[in-house]
Amino acid sequence: MPSPCSLNIDVEWQTLKNTLQQAANEALGKRKKRRHIRRLILWNEDIKNLIENKKAFLRYRTTRSETGKLEYKRLVAIVKRETRKIKRQSWETFVSRI
């Protein structure tokens, strides 16, 4: 069972906390929480499929062959190119809506 002294401290702490919060709200006001709205669509099923099909790194890592390395680099370049294309298209549609 808590001692009477600790109950008194808890009550005083809650009073102090509430007073400070109320003073801060009066002086500074409250800010509404804004939900993050993503304007640009940067991820879609095409990119997801390309990345999932990019398993060449695992093959390269196990074999350490030059052809595996080249295949991996080729697939990475394809994914980057497609991502840039989708970002560009998304930006163009966003700007056209404005």
pLDDT, mean of residues 68-84: 83
- Same domain for 50 and 85? yes
CA atoms of 95 and 85, how far apart (whole Å): 15
User: Which of 14-18, 32-36, 82-86 tops mean pLDDT?
Assistant: 14-18
Whether 61 is covered by a domain: the verdict is yes
Whether 18 is covered by a domain: the verdict is yes
pLDDT, mean of residues 79-98: 83
Whether 55 is covered by a domain: the verdict is yes
CA atoms of 46 and 86, how far apart (whole Å): 9
Higher pLDDT, 10 or 4: 10
- Same domain for 23 and 54? no
- Same domain for 58 and 85? yes
- Same domain for 55 and 85? yes
> How many structural domains is the chain composed of?
2
- Same domain for 5 and 27? yes
What range does the domain containing 10 cover? Answer: 1-31
Whether 12 is covered by a domain: the verdict is yes
DSSP string for 3-28 = -HHHHHHHHHHHHHHHHHHHHHHHHH
Whether 36 is covered by a domain: the verdict is no
Mean residue pLDDT across the chain: 78
Whether 38 has a pLDDT exceeding 60, the answer reads: no
Higher pLDDT, 1 or 23: 23
Whether 16 has a pLDDT exceeding 90, the answer reads: yes
